[in-house]
Amino acid sequence: MYINMKWKMIFSIGVGGSLGTLCRYQFNMWTLFTAYPLGTLMENLLASFLLGGVTGWFFIRKGTDWLKAGVGVGFLGSFSTMSTLAADTVFLLRDDVNFSFVYLAISLFGGVGLALSGMMLGRSIGNVRNGESPPSNAE
Q: Is 80 within any annotated ligand binding site?
A: yes
SS3 per-residue string spanning 11-55: HHHHHHHHHHHHHHHHHHHHCCCCCCCHHHHHHHHHHHHHHHHHH
Instruction: Determine contact, residues 12/69, Cβ cutoff 8 Å.
Output: yes
Cα 116 from Cα 22, distance rounded (Å): 26
Three-state SS for 139?
coil
Q: Which of 130, 124, 120, 128 is nearest to 52 (CA)?
A: 120
Residue 56, annotated as binding a ligand:
no
Extract the annotated binding site for Na(+). 77, 80
Extract the annotated binding site. 77, 80
